[in-house]
Amino acid sequence: MKKVYIIVSLLICVFSFLISIRADSKKFGIIIDPGHGGRDGGATVNGIVEAEVNLAVAEELKKVYEEKGYIVDMTRTENVDLCENTFVKREDMNRRVKKINSGNYVFCISIHQNTYSDSKYKGAQVFYNEKNHSLNKELAEGVQFSLRTYLKNTTRTVVNRNNIYLLNKVTIPIIIVECGFLTNVEEAHQLISSDYQKKLAYSIYYGSRCILDKSLF
């Protein structure tokens, strides 16, 4: 009888420990990279500056992850670039890469906006580098599926890109989310809307759960 009691007690302890691990999601860090910033505004279309939209979406995404109990860091929290003196794109990118790689993060999500010469094109799309990390494709597909499901305004699929500096140099799972096309008037209007930015943020969060759930166990 005593032996049975000990076994039951051990099982209860193990079960309680697993619950505490799942509840204590704060030990998992996520880093968000709002693309461009400061002297590097990215694309500017009809007065809309990509770097500013990127930061607004990133801030909403940060709120969502924190609401769910995760620690969140960002490569920038203001409309600034990461260069100390004269702006050099490679220096800015290297500082982002260093910050992302040096932290204890589960994954990185880099936020951008798209443009194209033909204004008819629209829709959010996720880029990843298949060779850089084994989980990149899964994270990309999870977020892309979620964007299609919740936004209901894109039929785009993920794209494997091996010519993007950030995707090549970051060593943790990373994706780039092109939230939409600033060159599409209708979509640009949505992208600067706080309500739509929140919708984007929740869509990205739910899509990333495929990796978050794996990280918990």
Q: Which domains does the chain have, with CATH numbers?
A: 26-216 (3.40.630.40)
Using the structure block, give the residue that is written with the tokens 């599926």: 145
Q: What pLDDT score was predicted for residue 12?
A: 41
Of the candidates 66, 45, 17, 74, the one whose C-alpha atom is nearest the C-alpha of residue 192 is 45
pLDDT (tens digit per residue) in 150-198: 999 999 999 999 999 999 999 999 999 999 999 999 999 999 999 999 9
pTM listed for this prediction: 0.87
Distance CA 5, CA 201 (A): 48
pLDDT (tens digit per residue) in 85-102: 999 999 999 999 999 999
Predicted confidence band of residue 214 (pLDDT cuts 50, 70, 90): confident
pLDDT (tens digit per residue) in 33-87: 999 999 999 999 999 999 999 999 999 999 999 999 999 999 999 999 999 999 9
Judge whether residue 10 has pLDDT over 50: no
Pairing assessment for the beta strands 29-34 and 105-114 based on DSSP bridges: parallel
Using the structure block, give the residue that is written with the tokens 């943020």: 201
Distance CA 205, CA 50 (A): 21
Q: What is the CA radius of gyration of the chain?
A: 19
